[in-house]
Amino acid sequence: MPQEAPHPEFRVLITLAILAAIFFLSLEGLRPPAAEPPSVPASQFSAGRAREVLHRLVGDGIPHPTGSAANDVVRGRVIAELTALGYAPQVQTGFSCDEYGTCATVKNVLARLDGTESGAAVLLAAHYDSVAAGPGASDDGVGTATVLEIARALKTVPALRNSVIFLIDDGEEAGLLGARVFVDQNAWAKEVRAAVNVEARGTSGPSVMFETGSANEWVVRLYAKNALRPATSSIFYTAYKQLPNDTDFTVFKAAGYQGVNFAFIGDEPHYHTPLDNFENANAASLQHQGDNALPMVLALGNADLANAPQSEAVFFSVFERWMIWWPANRTLPIAIAAALILFLQIGWLLAKKRLAPVAMLWGLLGWLAMFAGTGLLGLGLQQILRLAGAMPGSWVAHPLALKVAFWSLALAVVACVGLGLGRRAGFWGFWAGVWTWWALLAVLVSWLSQGFAFILLVPACAAAVAGLPFSLRQSEPRHGAWLAAMLPLAVAGILGFDHAILLYSALGVRILAGIAVVVALLLTPLAPILAELRESRGLLRIAVPGVPTAATLAAAFAAIIVPAYSAKAPEHVNMQYRLDGDSGKSQWVVHTASGRLAEALRVATNFHRLDNGLASWDTYPAFVANAPHLDLAAPTFTILESSEVAGKRKYRALLRSERGAPDAMALFPPDSGIEAVRMEGEPVQPETELIRRYVNGWHLYDCVTMPPKGVEISFELPLGKPVEVDALDQTYALPLEGMFLLKSRPLTATRFSEGDLTIVIRRVQLNP
């Protein structure tokens, strides 16, 4: 063992320097690799080549939602690219609905590269449609360009064992509809055993493998062996399953496919806005997508897909350079073994009177104080910053100050508790208290959710091993005991800092207090080392808690005074023209992410705020003003047939946009009792309570590719109960009369997702 530093101050400084180095290595590891030029060998993925394809696809910057003429143009470009590569692309047309009640006619582009064996295939997928508000260069133009560049590269390598099916699908933004049509209606779908999906939620950042199939051990093993820059964690996979987020891979998993899902999430304010353009599509992120997807397609293409083992893994990458994994069923036994070894050492320390029970009690209480104190102070700071206007939306233009504030808060709390209780707990009291909690949590989390466990389990194992040379002695060692605390602390930082760094990009300002708690947890093993400063009277004893405390206050003040939005990270502000087709009343409606109206818009006309939305199915606050009446035809909801069947009234109705809007919907009130809904013969799944909460309990049935003839909807209602149906159609622009509002939208605001809308509503009374 190396000689112990002569003074506690040196040990603390060395430890802090190591933590700083780990933090910056974590930051560096999250940087995607440099883009490869078009001149690299043909068998390699080149972001330079892929960006040329991306420019041809979406360089005009025109949004192309499903069903639009612009989407037809992009689809034609995709077909031309595949044809130029020597493929024979097919267009699959189909109608489908999702569980939100959204339906559409979609047009997928398909091609295949046959393998040397028949019977199993690998699916490589991305979607080519965008939202109405932005051109979708990264979401998912980058994915489409990645698929096309891989399709080119696969032509230059020896034939794979398994066939590769290329799916560039439509309607993902509308509700994963293209993927549903492929899985349910295409004969090739029956051959697929594994899928590689390429997505984005932002315009930059590392390509993260954030989702796998349910039996992922063999896929994780292939990824670990073949990925050039692995960026992944079973925490991402486990957490994503709990979030109300979906990609096409959700459909593929439901169909029984195994595989992997890749996405980058940097510069989230660009997501689903006009800023998701070619200029902002990061070439390095594109390169990382290809560096992930191409090796996985090659590996799966030569794998035995028919005999994949049905087991899961716990896995994580280290600095996005190396990857560690093990079978998930070993996690709990390892956690129990680590806990027993730690408790054996603590028992020995107590038996040899090197650790007093009261010191261990203070160590246990100190860990709780660090963990709970950071959480309470984090929530308080988050509320103060929100009230001060520093966090008006989910993401802000200058998040660095917020990140510094909450990371520094965690370090300040750990430092204050470590120093404040240092005399009572001492080194071994804190060591025993901290690692008792870590070991118990590792066992608990290993039992409840194995995918999360490694971030607790691996440091606990490191503590169990590092402590052995110093704890199992008859007397206190003269040298090196601080390594028993420093080594597992370093392991905790290596495993956890990159997760904490990514949390803001993933969840925004809502998770800031959570970030502080995670960082505090990772730093709690610092307490034993800080306890050694208990007798120090030097500057370091003041600086260790003082510097992070000052940094927290300064960063919080900076977060308050810097603007929350900018032209490069604007606020989401959507505008609507709403016409009530029954009363003729017209209104301008503005929805803002911050819940505040910019001064330029405030003076444009006489807006007033509605806290509960404009309609009973509209849950979002809005600003409303009277608007001029326009002669726009209202949608129709015409009953074609009605009959009584088994105590129910069965209807067949025609929903039609009389003004040719691309999107029309029928909304039924929460107490309508509607059942057995079909649109164009396609069954619409009953919504879950969570989904209905988005529309205040109403039942919504929406066709986003409304044909001129309309769509037929069949449904059943209880007998004898009148029901009022809201029929609504919308176009993705304001009328010319709203030009003054568009000019009043500040440069620090932009449209988002569906964007600006012209909406016409009418009500239809059904009397069963």
pLDDT per position as a tens digit, 365-408: 999 999 999 999 999 999 999 999 999 989 999 999 999 999 99
Is the pLDDT score of 3 beyond 50?
A: no
Split at pLDDT 50, 70, 90, the class of 2 is very low
270: number of CA atoms within 13 Å, CB side?
25
Answer for the pair 682, 181: CB distance below 8 angstroms, yes or no: no
Listed residue (119, 222, 213, 212) closest to 163, CA to CA: 119
At 533 the pLDDT is: 83
Residues 614-623: tens digit of each pLDDT: 888 888 889 9
Considering the chain, what percentage of its residues have pLDDT values greater than 90?
87
At 78 the pLDDT is: 98
682-683 and 675-679 beta bridge pairing: antiparallel
DSSP 101: S
190: number of CA atoms within 13 Å, CB side?
5
Average pLDDT of 29-53?
97
Other CB atoms within 10 A of residue 472 CB: 12
At 540 the pLDDT is: 83
Is 215 or 220 the better-scoring residue by pLDDT? 220
- DSSP lists the bridge partners of residue 712 as 654
Is the pLDDT score of 5 beyond 50?
A: no
Other CB atoms within 10 A of residue 639 CB: 11
Residues with Cβ within 8 Å of 369's Cβ and at least 6 positions away in sequence, in order, are 417, 421
Split at pLDDT 50, 70, 90, the class of 478 is low
CA distance 511 to 519: 12
Residues 563-580: tens digit of each pLDDT: 999 999 999 999 999 999
Residues 643-666: tens digit of each pLDDT: 998 889 999 999 999 999 999 999
Other CB atoms within 10 A of residue 473 CB: 14
Q: Which of 644-653, 683-692, 739-748 has the lowest mean pLDDT?
A: 683-692
Listed residue (71, 244, 53) closest to 143, CA to CA: 53
Helix spans in 421-537 (H)? 422-448, 450-471, 483-507, 512-523, 527-531
Average pLDDT of 506-516?
95
Q: What tokens appear for 556 in the block?
A: 């919080």
Is the pLDDT score of 247 beyond 90?
A: yes
For 654, list phi and psi in degrees, rounded to 5.
Answer: -115, 115
Q: What is the 3-state secondary structure (H, E, C) of 357-418?
A: HHHHHHHHHHHHHHHHHHHHHHHHHHHHHHHCCCCCCCCCCCCHHHHHHHHHHHHHHHHHHH
At 437 the pLDDT is: 98
Answer for the pair 176, 98: CB distance below 8 angstroms, yes or no: yes
Q: What tokens appear for 559 in the block?
A: 């977060």
37: number of CA atoms within 13 Å, CB side?
1
CA distance 658 to 2: 82
Is 363 or 613 the better-scoring residue by pLDDT? 363
Considering the chain, what percentage of its residues have pLDDT values greater than 70?
98
Answer for the pair 383, 438: CB distance below 8 angstroms, yes or no: no
Split at pLDDT 50, 70, 90, the class of 24 is very high
Is the pLDDT score of 4 beyond 70?
A: no
Average pLDDT of 134-156?
97
The pTM (predicted TM-score) of the whole model is 0.94
Residues with Cβ within 8 Å of 28's Cβ and at least 6 positions away in sequence, in order, are 319
DSSP 163-181: EEEEEEES-HHHHSHHHHH
What domains can you pick out in the chain, each with its CATH number?
8-29+329-561 (no CATH), 47-319 (3.40.630.10), 570-768 (2.60.40.10)
At 240 the pLDDT is: 84
**What mean pLDDT is reported for the chain?**
94
Average pLDDT of 511-526?
97
313-318 and 208-212 beta bridge pairing: unpaired
- DSSP lists the bridge partners of residue 641 as 652
Q: What is the sign, positive or negative, of the torsion defined by CA atoms of 342, 344, 345, 350?
A: positive
CA distance 72 to 90: 14
Other CB atoms within 10 A of residue 720 CB: 8
CA distance 622 to 764: 25
Average pLDDT of 157-179?
97
At 691 the pLDDT is: 75
